[in-house]
Structure formats: structure tokens, C-alpha cells
Amino acid sequence: MSQIGKFALVTGASRGIGRAIALRLAANGAVVAVHYGHDDEAAAKTVAEIGAAGGQAFAIRSELSTPAGIDALFAELTKSLPDGRLDILVNNAGGGGGNGSIEQLTPAAVDSLFAVNVAAPLFISQRAIPLLRDGGRIVNISSCAPRVAAPSQVAYAMSKGAIDVLTKTLAVQLGPRGITVNAVAAGATETEGMAGFLDGNPQVRASISAMTALGRVGQPADIADVVAFLASEDARWITGNVVDVSGGTAISPAIGAQ
């Protein structure tokens, strides 16, 4: 699954799943643009780790919840593209804010959630399409949330359902150029954002693990390895798919019923 000579943009790549994706693509030979929103130290650490392993990466800071932030991202990105072309786009940046039952949701919280989880991937893809080489790759990070009905996750699940629709639509639009577009539906994954739920709380960890067929919480590398495959030539005949990478979360009524 070599990505030698490829140029990749990974959004939200300073921490968690995005960081693991950046590390894996760089290990495969890609030059990686590590986008991040605010954590300078984490972004620098990701770039340094890639460099220490013999890879190539650089960081781009921008806030994706505004059009100006997306403009800033691409202004900086295009300065660094070797010939103005991009090979791989990974729309990873997103948030879980705005969660709660429908009675608890507020317009401001939902607007903020959708700005990052829906509008940003849409308009980043819009800006990236003219830069993508024929035969390029787009991988969107979705969730298994749209597959199940969880009242406390209604807004988040809706936002990820929109990503699934975007994925299929772009796959049809970009297919004639040989560009594949797929999504990875992640389950609960052990990232910095999940630390508060998992660390020091064995009951929560056990409950989440019991919801999966494989009996554990996901790791960022579990997601990154599948993204790297979808971004490779090996996945040339896969497009328009939402690939479940959740360890078999909630696929049986018996799972989680103990």
C-alpha cells in the first residue's frame, strides 16, 4: 500500500484518529499536510514524530468552522503542493459537541456541530477537487452512529449521516476521473476526547467493549490502517462505500445486553 510520491491533506491531524492517519500515510511514503485547529504543541509533536521516523510532514493551522478558515487552509496548502496537485484528502476533523436528546438541543449548539462536521468537509472537498489528480483518493471519517438509534446522539448521528451522503454523491461525480471516495464509519475509539469517559472508569470501558463483537474499545491505529488501504492503489475498485470499522458495534441485539 505504498503512498511514495503522494501528497496528502489530513484535517484534524494533531491528535487522535487524525494523528494516527497522518503517521500511517507518512510511514507509507506520503508527504502529509497536518491540519490542526488550535493545539500548536500537539501538531508540532505529530510533525516531529513523522520526521523522526524518516517521513515528511508540515503543519497548517486554521479554524474550519468559518469560510475564512477554509480559505486560510487552502492558501497555505497550495504554497506547499509540489506542482499544485493533491493526491489524497482525508476529511477527519469533526466534533461531538451539541449532543443531547432532542429536548436538550439548542440552535447554537447544532449550528456549531454542523459547521465542523458537515459544512467544513463539504467545502474542503469543493476546494480540493480541482487540485486532486485523476486517480486520487478522498476518505471521509464517519461514524457507526447513523446506523443505530441513540436519542442522546441525534444531532451527531445526523451530521455523520450527511457525510455518508456526501461520500456516495462525490463517488458518482468523480468516478469518471478515477477518483475514489469512501467513508470509514468508526466506533468508540480511545482518543484524547474519550479519555474522560474511559480513564479511571472501568464500568464505562466495559460497557462500551460489550457493545462490540470484538469486545474492546477501538484504537486510532485500527481506523488509520483502513484509511491507508482506501487511499492506496489496492483499493482502486472500491468507491461510494461506508466501511464499518467499529469492531462490530451493536450488530446483534445480544451484544451489550449482558
Rg of the Cα atoms in the chain: 18
Q: What is the pLDDT of residues 32-70, one digit of tens each?
A: 999 999 999 999 999 999 999 999 999 999 999 999 999
Q: Which residues are catalytic?
A: 156
Predicted pLDDT at 216: 92
Q: Cβ distance 69 to 63 under 8 Å?
A: yes
Burial class (CB in 10 A: 0-12, 13-18, 19+), 44: middle
Compute the average pLDDT of residues 207-230: 93
CA 187 to chain centre: 12
Q: List, for residues 12-34, the tens digit of each pLDDT value.
A: 999 999 999 999 999 999 999 99
Q: Residue 117: exposed, middle, or buried by beta-carbon count in 10 A (0-12, 13-18, 19+)?
A: buried
7, three cell numbers: 501528497
Virtual CA dihedral for 175, 180, 185, 190, nearest 10 degrees? Answer: -160
Q: What would the pLDDT profile of 81-108 be if each residue is shown by its tens digit?
A: 989 999 999 999 998 755 788 999 999 9
**CA pair distance 78, 195, nearest whole angstrom:** 35
Verdict on whether the full-model pTM lies above 0.75: yes
| Count of C-beta atoms within a 10 Å radius of residue 132 | 19
The domain segmentation of the chain, as residue ranges, is: 7-189+220-245
- Helix (H) / strand (E) element for 204: namely helix 202-210
- Position 82 scores a pLDDT of 87
Angle between helices 154-174 and 120-128 (to 10 degrees): 20
- Sequence-distant (6+) residues with CB within 8 A of 193 are 15, 16, 96
Which CATH architecture fits 7-189+220-245?
3-Layer(aba) Sandwich (3.40)
